[in-house]
A and B are shown apart, each in its own frame.
Chain A
């Protein structure tokens, strides 16, 4: 494998990793409050489509694009839409005490519907033809870092050739880690997820914490969707359910990182490397295997290589559960609704 191939592999892995890093950070906040939100794929899609729709409407409305404004509009739309999805989840699971798994899965069905419906028919609804594209806004999101891009050789090509949201994800991961470990509010949040009855008795408003965690967590998940739409597929929409798979991987990453966002900073990229490995596995290996399996084309092997990220996740899940280290466990009340009069 040549150096340039390694570079492009790493770059692709970082782009991929950033999507699931946002999802993982958001879901970690959710889960630390004791809420297992399986709606991550749905929330990501809602955030992504909201950003896309907002940018699309803005691009159509103006002739000369204000780059900062178009970026802000997309961001704001994404945050509001995904926060609303989080609010819906919180209302159902906290106030109405509906089972979290079922609510999350419904949110995924709903979000997938919303996103694919508008992604597929927005052009038509607004009187145009063809597929939706917001290349101009996407280019602003994908603008490379000034001063640093193109320097420091191979290292620079891997590290500095991304849009700003890649770096925001890293900062956010460490910031949330600090928030959970060192701040009063963060500790309160964790106590809600560990034992809501005790937290309640200590004067923590469990309902408010759960609501806020769900809303803020979902908003961060939504950023993953925005990044997917603007950077990963460069300002368009694809009904190929890739983003759904990424959403599930983000949930898996939460366990992989053992509920520590700082671990997502490398774990997400590792998932990215696994995900793209199928392109970079040398042709001679595929050819050899294809001959053994009597395939007519060596590229058919790629179908099997694509299992890699999922297999790795399974192995990690099993390994983590076998070890059972105390500090690596899920919040004790994860997945349970809290009703004060039931304790």
Chain B
């Protein structure tokens, strides 16, 4: 090849990881730019004043006490799913199957609610549902994990396909349980509220928040201090190193992914028993995918996950409010979320790399 490398005008070099204040500043700038771009989008599509739109967004998320609680509730759910992905992702096991695992957890919860609700005391039923949902989430994760560990099967696609198998299973059971042939199970146990999360301390969602708090602390400790969590990190860095260090790689993969699936299943339990009290193929609602990005952005740090989850839920609640206020379609929120995620993802570049101008362009490298 006769062509010599064209030396570019800008030069990118790696630098030491940025300090915390710098990182915070970079993210703040990224969010500001994202809001600016979203504002342009809002303005050009709707001709609305973006400032009043953002005010309306804030009202949508925190405007009333009820709305604030719902925002917190949904942020907790997203956080729970993000937490569930951490053990898998740290091994570079791309679990894109949280959707399916949530659905299966929700399915077993709904089944128990339907068959035993109002017959078995609710605390006992809640305990059984919790265990069942974790088991079913873990089962849904087990197959991809087993094949990944044994034959290095592509887990991204395997887990994605398991989502669709899960969706069809839900569709099947919805038809099976639906007495009115309306392809919906409706609100389960509307009378008697068997198997619903009871209000604790006068708040409807206390139990949701408690569960998520416990899991947050658990995952933090697990990832940071447990032997298994540590082994997962080693496998993620380098499988060769892990093998050399005598780590049983297939076993570590299986166990970490099983844990991941179990917590996703638990999220299905929280959603069905603690929030919607119904089951449909929309129970997971794309959260399994959003959580992937939350988990990645947070670099597996549970507390960063909490902040990001809250931020994303705030955005989507706000955007939903705009949609209803200004008569837009609810998917506007997904666009704004996408734009913001693109910016935050890109911003990480400035934490790890330095860009400088190439002055001596004639000189060789």
| Chain A residues in the interface with B (C-beta under 8 A) | 36, 38, 88, 92, 96-99, 101-103, 105-114, 116-117, 120-121, 124-125, 202-205, 239, 245, 248, 251-252, 255, 295-297, 300, 303-304, 306-307, 310-311, 313-314, 317-318, 321-322, 324, 330, 339, 341-342
List the count of A-B residue pairs having beta carbons below 8 Å apart: 165
| Surface stretch bound by A, among B63-71, B203-211, B220-228, B345-353 | B345-353
Asked if B202 lies at the interface with its beta carbon under 8 angstroms from chain A, I say no
Name the one of A121, A248, A317 contacting B154, with C-beta atoms under 8 angstroms.
A317
Chain B residues within 8 Å of A342, by CB: 14
| Surface stretch bound by A, among B131-139, B301-309, B325-333 | B325-333
CB of A121 within 8 A of CB of B338, answer no
Name the one of A103, A111, A117, A203 contacting B329, with C-beta atoms under 8 angstroms.
A117
CB of B345 within 8 A of CB of A117, answer no
Number of interface residues of B (CB under 8 A): 59
Interface string of B135-167 (1 = CB under 8 A from A): 000000001000100011110111011101100
CB of B290 within 8 A of CB of A109, answer yes
Instruction: Identify which of residues 112-141 in chain B touch chain A, using a CB-to-CB cut-off of 8 Å.
Output: none
Pick 12 A–B contacts, CB within 8 A, sort by A.
A38-B96, A101-B156, A109-B338, A110-B334, A116-B331, A117-B328, A125-B45, A205-B6, A255-B154, A304-B168, A304-B169, A318-B147
Q: Provide the bound-state CA to CA distance between A314 and B156, in Å.
A: 11
Q: A125-B45, A314-B143, A317-B154 are in contact. List 15 more A-B contacts (CB 8 A).
A: A101-B156, A102-B345, A110-B335, A110-B337, A113-B333, A114-B335, A245-B164, A248-B157, A307-B165, A307-B169, A313-B157, A313-B161, A314-B161, A317-B161, A341-B14
Asked if B212 lies at the interface with its beta carbon under 8 angstroms from chain A, I say no
CB of B147 within 8 A of CB of A203, answer no
Asked if B175 lies at the interface with its beta carbon under 8 angstroms from chain A, I say yes
Chain A residues within 8 Å of B341, by CB: 106, 109-110
CB of A121 within 8 A of CB of B296, answer no
Which single residue of chain A is at the shortest CB-CB distance from B337? A109
Q: How far is the CB of B175 from chain A (nearest CB, A)?
A: 4
Q: How far is the CB of B201 from chain A (nearest CB, A)?
A: 36
CB of A106 within 8 A of CB of B1, answer no
Asked if B172 lies at the interface with its beta carbon under 8 angstroms from chain A, I say yes
- Ranked nearest first, the 3 interchain pairs of A and B with the lowest CB-CB distance are A110-B338, A113-B334, A203-B1
Chain A residues within 8 Å of B176, by CB: 295, 300
Which single residue of chain A is at the shortest CB-CB distance from B11? A341
Q: Provide the bound-state CA to CA distance between A263 and B352, in Å.
A: 41
Which single residue of chain B is at the shortest CB-CB distance from A296? B181
Q: Provide the bound-state CA to CA distance between A318 and B155, in Å.
A: 10
CB of B338 within 8 A of CB of A314, answer no
CB of B3 within 8 A of CB of A98, answer no
Q: Quick one: given A105-B293, A321-B147, A341-B14, are A98 and B161 in contact (CB under 8 Å)? A: no
Q: Provide the bound-state CA to CA distance between A107 and B96, in Å.
A: 15
CB of B165 within 8 A of CB of A311, answer yes
CB of B14 within 8 A of CB of A113, answer no
Q: Provide the bound-state CA to CA distance between A311 and B151, in Å.
A: 18
Q: Quick one: given A99-B296, A300-B175, A307-B168, are A121 and B329 in contact (CB under 8 Å)? A: yes
CB of A106 within 8 A of CB of B335, answer no
SS class of chain B's interface: helix, strand, loop or mixed? helix
Chain A residues within 8 Å of B13, by CB: 341
Name the one of B14, B331, B342, B348 contacting A112, with C-beta atoms under 8 angstroms.
B331
**Max chain A Cβ within 10 angstroms of own Cβ: one of B286, B328, B338, B346:** B338
Asked if B361 lies at the interface with its beta carbon under 8 angstroms from chain A, I say no
CB of B338 within 8 A of CB of A113, answer yes
Name the one of B152, B171, B181, B348 contacting A98, with C-beta atoms under 8 angstroms.
B348
Q: How far is the CB of A48 from chain B (nearest CB, A)?
A: 14
Q: Provide the bound-state CA to CA distance between A110 and B329, in Å.
A: 15
Instruction: Identify which of residues 1-47 in chain B touch chain A, using a CB-to-CB cut-off of 8 Å.
Output: 1, 3-6, 12-14, 45-46
Which single residue of chain A is at the shortest CB-CB distance from B332? A117
Q: How far is the CB of B160 from chain A (nearest CB, A)?
A: 5
Name the one of A125, A321, A341 contacting B152, with C-beta atoms under 8 angstroms.
A321
Which single residue of chain B is at the shortest CB-CB distance from A125? B45
Chain B residues within 8 Å of A314, by CB: 143, 158, 161-162, 165
Name the one of A107, A112, A317 contacting B334, with C-beta atoms under 8 angstroms.
A112
Q: Provide the bound-state CA to CA distance between A92 and B3, in Å.
A: 27
Q: How far is the CB of A276 from chain B (nearest CB, A)?
A: 14
